[in-house]
A = this chain, B = another copy of it.
Amino acid sequence: MRRHHPYHHCRVANPLFHNPGNYDTRYSRRIVEKSRVFTLTIKFVKGLFNNQMNKVTIKDIARKLQVSATTVSNALNGKPGVGKAARKRILQLAKEMGYQPNYFAKGLVSRQSYAIALVITNIADPFYPQLALGVQEKANAYGYSTMLFNTNHSIESEKQIIQMLGSKGVDGVILSTVEQDDPNIDLLEDLELPFVLVNRLILNPKKASRIDSVSLDNYGGAYKAAMHLCRMGHTKIAIIAGDMASSTAIMRTQGAKDALAEFGVTVPGEWFVVSGYTKENAFDATRHLLSRKERPTAILAQDDNMALGVREAAFVSGFKIPEDLALVGFNNIGFSSLTGIELTTVGQDQHAMGMAGAEMLIHKLQHSPHPGISSKIVMETELVIRKSCGYHLKTQEQTSPSE
């Protein structure tokens, strides 16, 4: 007996086995292009559509109970000056009538929205969801809600977002800037919008003392990672950076170079590549890197996403990881621990970072005018050694020449 439904003839799309080098972002792109939506609009009858919200206000409650609006307000907010009996009746009736305080009226007089904005480069980067979750959990715990904005690494778009926030009524901003010494920080200061930086650190000494931040010990993390490669005997090491504009990239580069310097290793110019922050960018950069005559034996990618791109490029170019090429990433995103990937990387706790950022901002909002104090949190990193660096194959480590 044959069932009838629309999926009977199941189409097999883009069978990758026809395409053995299967690292392919065009693949996902193809899906995107192909995805169709079909809409069906259903009519139904509904008695009367009541568009205007017949919201119950404080005044409605006051009228019904023959008291003043102020008394109702005080009762609802647990303020003194309301008798026990009256308070009880008011709370009771408010509940019955389904009273919901009007957010706008409240905000208009109190000048507080209990909303904060989280402005990051891109929520689809696996680094950020955990951070966003941390921010949101902590904010919620304090009664704040969180608005999310993505700058897509564009200064211009960041500027627009911040300007918009100025009149959006958020109490404060948690920002992961696009660039080191981002001009939009000045904008935030001009707008007198309280903010903290997250995953970024201001290096400019003129501003640094003024600006709160929760950052990562990127220097130390990269130092440890590079040190590790040196100890494994590598001297031909390439670095693939996302950009050189953010404090993150600057510190990671510095940390790596300082570690290498201790072993007397330097990275030649053509082995220091600034590729952009995506897997695809790193893929292209690595293919190029590996096509030359002189090849590195190890690559430090400044981000796990990029490391995954390096990995794919190595495979496509016919190199094995770690046998032919050692690879170290940064961030310890969820997938780097999977069997077959086992990426050596530098770990941290994005969730805690988000929580710390939110806590810091809200503290600032609530205990506002501690003039002249700024605080910085720097979070520890941890080198997570897996198989992509080949450590499990080695029997003996090099020691630092200086030790």
Instruction: Answer whether residue A337 sits at the interface, using C-beta atoms and an 8 A cutoff.
Output: yes
The DSSP consensus for interface residues of chain A is: mixed
CB <8 Å contact, A210 and B44: yes
Indicate if A311 sits at the interface (CB-CB under 8 A).
yes
Asked if residues B7 and A219 are in contact (CB atoms below 8 Å), the reply is: yes
Q: Judging by beta carbons under 8 Å apart, are A372 and B46 in contact?
A: yes
A67 interfacial by beta-carbon distance below 8 Å: no
A96 to chain B, nearest CB (A): 14
B149 and A375 contact, CB distance less than 8 A? no
Establish whether residues A35 and B391, one from each chain, have CB atoms under 8 Å apart when the complex forms: no
B contact residues around A11 at 8 Å (CB): 224, 382-383
Asked if A91 CB lies within 8 Å of chain B CBs, one says no
A379 in contact (CB, < 8 A): yes
Interface residues in A1-57 (C-beta closer than 8 Å to B) = 1-3, 5-7, 10-17, 22-24, 27-28, 31-32, 34-46, 48-51, 53
B51 and A369: CB pair below 8 A?
Answer: yes
Q: Which residues of B contact A27 (CB under 8 A)?
A: 337, 384
Q: Does A142 contact B (CB under 8 A)?
A: no
Q: Is the CB of A35 within 8 A of B349?
A: yes
Q: Judge whether A402 is part of the interface by a CB distance below 8 angstroms.
A: yes
A233 at the interface (CB under 8 A from B): no
Measured between alpha carbons, how far is A382 from B128 in the docked complex, in Å? 28
Q: Decide: A261 near B341, CB < 8 A? Known: A49-B369, A372-B44.
A: no
Asked if A339 is an interface residue, CB under 8 A from chain B, the answer is yes
Q: Which residues of B contact A377 (CB under 8 A)?
A: 37-39
**For residue A277, which residues in chain B have a CB less than 8 angstroms away from its CB?**
none
Least Cβ–Cβ distance between A260 and chain B, in angstroms: 11
Cβ-defined contact, A169 with B42, below 8 A: no
A132 to B10, CA, bound (A): 30
A167 on the B face (CB < 8 A): yes
CB distance B384 to A14 under 8 Å? yes
- Is B41 a contact partner of A375 (Cβ separation < 8 A)? yes
Contact B164 A145 (CB under 8 A): yes
A104-112, A175-183, A241-249, A291-299 - interface stretch: A104-112
Nearest Cβ in chain B — how far from A90, in angstroms? 17
Report which of B166, B223, B308 forms a contact with A10, defined as CB distance below 8 A: B223
**Is the CB–CB distance between A104 and B104 below 8 Å?**
yes
A161 CB to closest chain B CB (Å) equals 8
Write out, one digit per residue, whether chain A residues 70-105 have a CB within 8 A of any chain B CB (1) or not (0): 000000000000000000000000000010111111
CA distance A120 to B40 in the complex (A): 24
A382's partner among B31, B338, B347, B376 (CB-CB below 8 A) is: B31
List 11 interface pairs A-B (beta carbons < 8 Å), by A numbering: A7-B227, A17-B392, A27-B384, A37-B214, A37-B377, A42-B374, A42-B376, A49-B369, A107-B169, A136-B150, A146-B147
Task: Mark A residues whose CB is within 8 Å of B.
Answer: 1-3, 5-7, 10-17, 22-24, 27-28, 31-32, 34-46, 48-51, 53, 98, 100-108, 111, 113, 115, 118, 122-126, 128-130, 132-133, 136-137, 140, 145-150, 164, 166-169, 190-192, 209-210, 214, 219-220, 223-224, 227-228, 255, 258-259, 261-262, 279, 308, 311-312, 315, 332, 334-335, 337-342, 347-349, 351-352, 356, 368-369, 371-380, 382-387, 391-392, 402
